Amino acid sequence: MSLRAAAAVAAAIALPAAGAPEEFDLDPGHTFPSFAVGHLGISTQRGRFERTAGRIVLDREAGTGSVEVAITAASVTTGNPKLDAVVRGEDFLDAPRHPAITFRSRAVAFEGGVPRRVAGDLTLAGVTRPVELAVTRFGCTRLPFLVRETCGADLAARIRRSEFGITAFAGLVADEVAIDVQVEAVRREPVPAPAPPGG
159-172 burial by CB neighbour count: b if 16+ within 10 A, else e? Answer: bebeebebeeeeee
Q: Give the CATH number for residue 103.
A: 2.40.128.110
Percent of the chain residues past pLDDT 90, beyond the cut? 75
3-state class of 78 per DSSP? Answer: coil
Average model confidence (pLDDT) for the chain?
88
| 198 lies in some domain | no
pLDDT beyond 90 at 64: yes
| 8 lies in some domain | no
State pLDDT tens for residues 3-61.
333 333 333 333 344 468 899 999 999 999 999 999 999 999 999 999 999 999 999 88
pLDDT score at 193? 56
| 88 lies in some domain | yes
Total structural domains within the chain: 1
Q: Structure pTM? A: 0.83
User: How far is Cα 113 from Cα 97, in angstroms, rounded to an integer?
Assistant: 40
pLDDT score at 94? 97
